Amino acid sequence: MAKVLIIGAGGVGQVVAHKCAQVPEVFTEIVLASRTKAKCDAIAAQIARPIETAQVDADNVAELTALIERVQPGLVINVALPYQDLTIMDACLATGVNYLDTANYEPRDQAKFEYSWQWAYQERFRERGLMALLGSGFDPGVTNVFTAWLRKHKLDRIRELDIIDCNAGDHGQPFATNFNPEINIREVTAKGRYWDGGQWRETDPLSVSQMFDFPEGIGPRKIYLMYHEELESLVKHLPEIETARFWMTFSDNYLKHLEVLQNVGMTRIDPVLYNGQEIVPLQFLKAVLPDPGSLGPLTKGRTCIGCVARGTRDGREETHYIYNICDHEACYREVGSQAISYTTGVPAMIGALMMLTGKWQGAGVFNLEQLDPDPFMDALNRYGLPWHATTL
Ligand code: NDP
């Protein structure tokens, strides 16, 4: 049906390549390009179907444009880093190709992410008759679809939304991040932010916490309030939501290491002079931490990510909880990656499938809650991320 160009050969890129390869009736040809071609080749070697590989610097629009013109894909899946979102969107506009990503744009020199930069592409994509699907990972991504599904099938109005992300897995390392360490640490050390009564409220990083009892034997865990990008699009597209918060679990060990790293300045993103050379401490830290890809064979346990929505249905107050549980070892057996990469890569493939099969169509820039959740929810059950909905 279509040729797809995947950009980025990290933990998530590996899962996207495997999952696209599992659906040959939609993804008839797969090209995997990244900064380091050897990483693309290593992924291609794991997969029985032929995968073409290429080298590209995705910070460079001219290089990207030349690659897209040569490959002629039906869609570009961007699973490089958030820094590359705008250059890849520019190249898609230049070549007339649809676009999908899993994380919103971040400028390198500011630990700040928001949709304004990518929403500013709305008119250009609309005028070109192209579609850009933003944030088709798990959170953002599936959490946006979960919210849209609860609004469509369970509640007439959502008043309060809590998105809760638990990684109950253990990789046995003293300190490691489950996805790109630089992006992860920038996110976790940022101020908390939540939507309350029509305005954003800020909290000090990880200063607000509570206990949450996770289902299916995971049990009670401490969850910490953080800012996460889907809050911004959800309160824009579902303005009825009065309170929206995002919570994540962290082990005491992770928090202890992070505190020390912060205190000694290793999480700084401004350059410092070392031996006559400028280095960014956080980028140096990334270089010495375990590669998230290497955690695959080591990680045991499960993730549980979902949404709790409170609101009304036929005038009655109701609370609904919808979640997915994903097992790290099962993911590793299937695609050679742990569950964090898996839970991001599968929805990226599903978003691509929605676009390429015409189930999701449109001209402009879209977040997932703006589209019909039903075919995406069916695909989650079918392609490895089954979900459960209950009433609390
Ligand atoms: P990795 O760091 O493992 O992989 C990133 C890949 O992008 C690497 O192959 C890297 O190349 C490549 N890359 C970086 N810069 C460039 C460039 N200038 N040109 C070409 N390629 C480049 O990250 P992950 O796979 O863990 O994450 C991928 C994306 O997924 C990130 O944007 C992350 O924020 C997002 N994400 C989204 C989640 C969600 O639920 N929505 C959850 C987790 C991640 P090289 O190997 O040479 O460094």
**Is the shortest distance between the CB of 82 and ligand 1 below 6 Å?**
yes
Specify whether 124 is located in the same domain as 38.
yes
Q: Is the pTM of this model over 0.85?
A: yes
pLDDT in tens, 5-28: 999 999 999 999 999 999 999 999
How many domains does the chain divide into? 2
**Is 270's pLDDT higher than 80?**
yes
Of 90, 115, 138, which one is at a domain's C-terminal end?
Answer: 138
Nearest-CA neighbor of 137 among 302, 324, 374?
Answer: 324
The alpha carbon of 36 and the centre of ligand 1 are apart by a number of angstroms equal to 12
**Max Cα distance, the chain (Å):** 68
Q: What is the mean pLDDT of the chain?
A: 96
The alpha carbon of 210 and the centre of ligand 1 are apart by a number of angstroms equal to 31
Closest ligand 1 atom number to CA of residue 82: 32
**For position 16, which CATH number holds?**
3.40.50.720
Least confident segment among 104-113, 199-208, 225-234: 104-113
Specify whether 25 is located in the same domain as 99.
yes
**Residue 369 belongs to some domain of the structure:** no
Q: Give nearest CA residue, ligand 1 atom 8.
A: 10
Peptide linkage before 82 cis (omega within 30 of 0): no
Specify whether 40 is located in the same domain as 119.
yes
Specify whether 130 is located in the same domain as 115.
yes
pLDDT in tens, 180-219: 888 889 888 999 999 999 999 999 999 999 999 999 999 9
Specify whether 12 is located in the same domain as 123.
yes
**Is the shortest distance between the CB of 179 and ligand 1 below 6 Å?**
yes
Specify whether 170 is located in the same domain as 298.
yes
**Residue 342 belongs to some domain of the structure:** no
**Is 111's pLDDT higher than 80?**
no
* Region 107-111 average pLDDT: 84
**Is the shortest distance between the CB of 139 and ligand 1 below 6 Å?**
yes
- Confidence band of 135 (pLDDT split at 50, 70, 90): very high
**Residue 284 belongs to some domain of the structure:** yes
pLDDT in tens, 319-345: 999 999 999 999 999 999 999 999 999
* Mutational test site, ligand 1, from 118, 134, 143, 180, max ligand atoms within 8 Å of CB: 180
Of 138, 155, 175, which one is at a domain's C-terminal end?
Answer: 138
**Residue 355 belongs to some domain of the structure:** no
* Region 263-275 average pLDDT: 94
Rounded Cα distance between 183 and 286, Å, is 10
Nearest-CA neighbor of 91 among 122, 116, 117, 60?
Answer: 60
pLDDT in tens, 341-380: 999 999 999 999 999 999 999 999 999 999 999 999 999 9
* Mutational test site, ligand 1, from 31, 41, 81, max ligand atoms within 8 Å of CB: 81
The range of the structural domain enclosing residue 225 comes to 142-337+387-391
Strand runs (DSSP E) across 43-138, as ranges?
A: 52-55, 75-78, 98-101, 131-134
Contacts of 305 by beta carbon, 8 Å cutoff, 6+ apart: 138, 139, 142, 143, 163, 164, 165, 166, 323, 324, 326, 343
| Percentage above 90 pLDDT, the chain | 92
Specify whether 290 is located in the same domain as 229.
yes
Of 113, 138, 163, which one is at a domain's C-terminal end?
Answer: 138
Specify whether 17 is located in the same domain as 160.
no
Specify whether 133 is located in the same domain as 146.
no
- Confidence band of 110 (pLDDT split at 50, 70, 90): confident
**Is 269's pLDDT higher than 80?**
yes
Specify whether 130 is located in the same domain as 148.
no
Specify whether 60 is located in the same domain as 111.
yes
